[in-house]
Structure 1
């Protein structure tokens, strides 16, 4: 029986989808690259903001419509799960009855229900490898849920409180990723700085990362999503002194106006964020700082927004993502007064990203002429798409090396940067 999974949203969802795909493959299902060829189509939804919800609903409707165009004798079962289902289970169940299986998150009962569909026994492949990333990239989730309760965020109500996953299980998963070809490990959670805080003194993030760094075959460890609340200079130095940890600092700041930081319930201060950034620039001058910002939060004034523009000019950041505030039911900010219009939010988003584009272009041009280590992600028509240690897969910049058909995905090579713009590099291979 053939299956396909459409995974939407964040890398935590991707990690979940990888796990489920592996379970199905080990149960005798065969992966197919397209939804149209599948007998079982699963959709891992995202319900974080309005755009994500609309995308998820669109994919669901497209998927159930496939049932109406099947060749004679073929059947298709559609299973929908994930964050959107957790938030809107009743509405989805009543309005889209064509869905065959609907559940929020996978558990043993759900897995048994789906695996019972397949009459073939035994694994479809001994080691399923990776379904959503190249084999050399492994996404390792280390916790579920979140306790930060930012006023705009529905994640705690969707995913529940923060729970650190068992260290032994994490290390076992990391070992499996390495054995199936992973060379770069992306460590993810809603806030990795809190790892172990619910487990006791013996379980800490630095301790876990040290153990991950000893796994044979893993060469790069990339740490994602460090909330400023739990990030200290001490923790930074503990983590980034560990062998194989890349100088890549993924710290979602969200805003810099002190009034909005408080209204967002971010549990931090502008002074603390500046302390962190200043220390990173001083202690890790060749590192890259990635962040995200929210524009158009309720009551955001032109003055608040201008503080954001001034901040990225005063403290240049290497990688920035931004999105317009999305009012989410069940969050405190949903009822906040002084809403910002969509037109103003869009204008501010455009202005912020235009300003950042100029900054990042200058930042990137500093690498021109330098020799850097890159990892090869793919090779097509003799050209290799690679990444530096400052760039996460599918999120940040790519580096293109022309006329190098002999390179293989997952290979580490040295390259000299010859050209840079805001979002991409061109390089020549150092042979």
Structure 2
């Protein structure tokens, strides 16, 4: 008699939303792998029988994308192409009860802090000794590193504390160990992420410890670039910049979302800072680290925003000349302080304002890029695409910033550094030729 063989489970993790979600998926995959469960990221091969959707619940568009992705996977399950569909992440954390009722075909829902419960579904144990042993969803030469979870800020527009809880720092020892593990695997660039980087350490060490963490991380052999994302401007700890200036492997790059420039908007948003204070801070940062790349993020169409406020924001951009700018249209989120306000700017007008603001930044970006023509930069090659190589300078983070296009008959190695002389400049990208390897 022929024995029946049971097909081994294979899990596909689909990640939506921000880089913090990506790290969560990587950690989950590392735990599954350590429990001898096959796992892949974003697989298109359809050779898996279980899907875990890691959702985003940040703004309306992200929520819609998450729900659509869940429905797509449920449809595959109904057609017999999947055995199980599990859902985790921010959307579940915030809307679990509603989701369970509206999409009952999902096998189980998990919040943002329920990794051990997900593992139980696979009869797997949470292995606390795993630090940095995660299945990277990024190319092996760079990785995101989450240094803290949650946020203690009370920005009027933000639902993150509802989904991620209060700020909780990870220990310096664990983060250094993780960086060492990543470096041994070939990671050369680590991007530090948290909802609020500058708050790091206040809960655990009773003081801001990001400068100390940076020193320890910059000593890890093999880590050539350390990049800082999501710094809050209020009470910004200037000591961070002293370490940045002293250490060659800390990129002269700072991602500091400001959200607006009109004082009445900053007050309504509960940003705890005025325009004048922001201008002083930007000036001090640039004086402390000459040549630093400043990236910021803005919101268009917050309740009560007037055309005068938009003009003030455009004028602020023209004077401050940030290197990189991203912009969101305001999303009216339940249970946030701003939800009590009237969402009085129509969606089309929010988009129009966002495009008008970005048109100002596009010109600034073009002018700044033109200044780089003829200069030589250390460039990290990320990939080869359509017969050309795409890389980044220390002033560019992954996906959100400029790329350096390198056309060459030479064979370049993704994950390696090259000196590239810039020959052409566009609104948001540069072209160059290799002068020499690093």
Is contact 1:150-1:265 (8 Å) kept? yes
The DSSP-based 3-state class of the residue aligned with 1:408 is coil
Instruction: Find the partner of 1:41 among 51, 65, 69.
Output: 51
Native 8 Å contact 1:371 1:416 kept in 2:
yes
Q: Whole-Å Cα distance in 1 between the matches of residues 121 and 217 of structure 2? A: 33
Mapped partners of 2:48, 2:287: distance in 1: 52
Give the TM-score taking structure 1 as reference length: 0.93
Aligned equivalent of 1:223: 228
1:330 aligns with 2:338: no
Equivalent residue number for residue 319 of structure 1: 324
Counterpart in 2 of 1:184? 189
- Quote how far apart the aligned CAs of 1:134 are: 0.5
Report the alpha carbon displacement of residue 199 of structure 1 after superposing the two structures with TM.
2.0
- The 1:41–1:404 alpha-carbon spacing in structure 2 relative to 1, beyond 3 Å, is farther
Distance in 1 of aligned mates of 2:239 and 2:36: 48
Q: Give the match's secondary structure for 1:221.
A: strand
- Structure 2 residue 258 is the aligned partner of structure 1 residue 258: no
What does residue range 31-430 of structure 1 map to in structure 2 within 5 Å?
Answer: 31-32=39-40, 33-34=43-44, 36-70=46-80, 75-107=82-114, 109-116=116-123, 130-200=135-205, 204-337=209-342, 339-380=344-385, 382-404=387-409, 406-430=411-435
CA contact (8 A) 1:194 1:230 kept: no
Of 247-256 and 416-425, the range deviating more from structure 2: 416-425
Go from structure 1 to structure 2 and tell me whether the alpha carbon gap of 1:38 and 1:131 turns closer, same or farther (over 3 Å shift): farther
**Mapped partners of 1:132, 1:86: distance in 2:** 23
Deviates more, 1:249-258 or 1:421-430: 421-430
Deviation at 1:358, TM superposition (A): 1.0
* Contact map agreement 1:415 1:430 (CA 8 A) in 2: yes
Q: Which residue of structure 2 aligns with residue 122 of structure 1?
A: none
Q: After superposition, give the CA deviation of every residue in 1:248-300 in whole Å (9 maximum; x if it has no partner).
A: 01110000101111110011121221112112333333221100000100000
Aligned residues: 420
Is residue 232–residue 276 contact of structure 1 (8 Å, CA) maintained in 2? no
Match of 1:139, SS state, is strand
- Whether the 8 Å CA contact 1:178–1:218 is kept in 2: the answer is yes
Question: RMSD of aligned C-alpha atoms?
Answer: 1.9
- From 9, 12, 26, give the equivalent of 1:18: 26
Is the 1:379–1:405 Cα contact (8 Å) retained in structure 2?
Answer: no
Pairwise CA distance, 1:243: 3.7
Structure 2 CA distance, aligned partners of 1:242 and 1:324? Answer: 37
| Aligned-pair CA distance for 1:406 | 1.8
Checking the alignment, whether the CA contact within 8 Å between 1:142 and 1:187 is kept in structure 2 is: yes
User: What is the CA deviation profile of residues 345-383 of structure 1, one whole-angstrom value per residue up to 9, with x for unaligned ones?
Assistant: 111011011111111111111111110001011124542
- Using the alignment, how far apart are the partners of 1:355 and 1:89 within structure 2? 41
**Closer/same/farther in 2, CA of residues 383 and 371 from structure 1, 3 Å limit:** same
Question: SS of the counterpart of 1:333?
Answer: helix
The alpha-carbon deviation at position 239 of structure 1 amounts to 4.2
Question: Structure 1 residues 31 and 404 mapped into 2: Cα distance closer, same or farther (>3 Å)?
Answer: farther
Structure 1: gaps (5+ residues): 119-126
Residue segments in structure 2 that go unaligned for 5+ positions in a row: 1-8, 126-131
Alignment CA distance shift 1:113-1:35 (3 Å): farther
TM-score, normalised relative to structure 2 = 0.91
Query: Do the aligned partners of residues 3 and 131 (structure 1) sit closer, same or farther apart at CA in structure 2, a change above 3 Å counting?
Result: farther
CA 155–39 in structure 1, closer or farther in 2 if over 3 Å, else same: same
Structure 1 CA distance for aligned equivalents of residues 433 and 116 of structure 2: 52
Contact 1:129 1:180 in 2 (8 A): no
Distance 2:47 2:312 in 1: 51
Following superposition, the deviation at residue 391 of structure 1 comes to 0.6
Q: Is the 8 A contact 2:191 2:227 kept in 1?
A: yes
Task: Give the Cα–Cα distance (whole angstroms) in 1 for the partners of residues 194 and 329 of structure 2.
Answer: 22
| Alpha-carbon shift at residue 398 of structure 1 (Å) | 1.0
Alpha-carbon distance in 1 for matches of 2:308, 2:208: 43
2:303 touches 2:343 (CA, 8 Å); kept in 1? yes
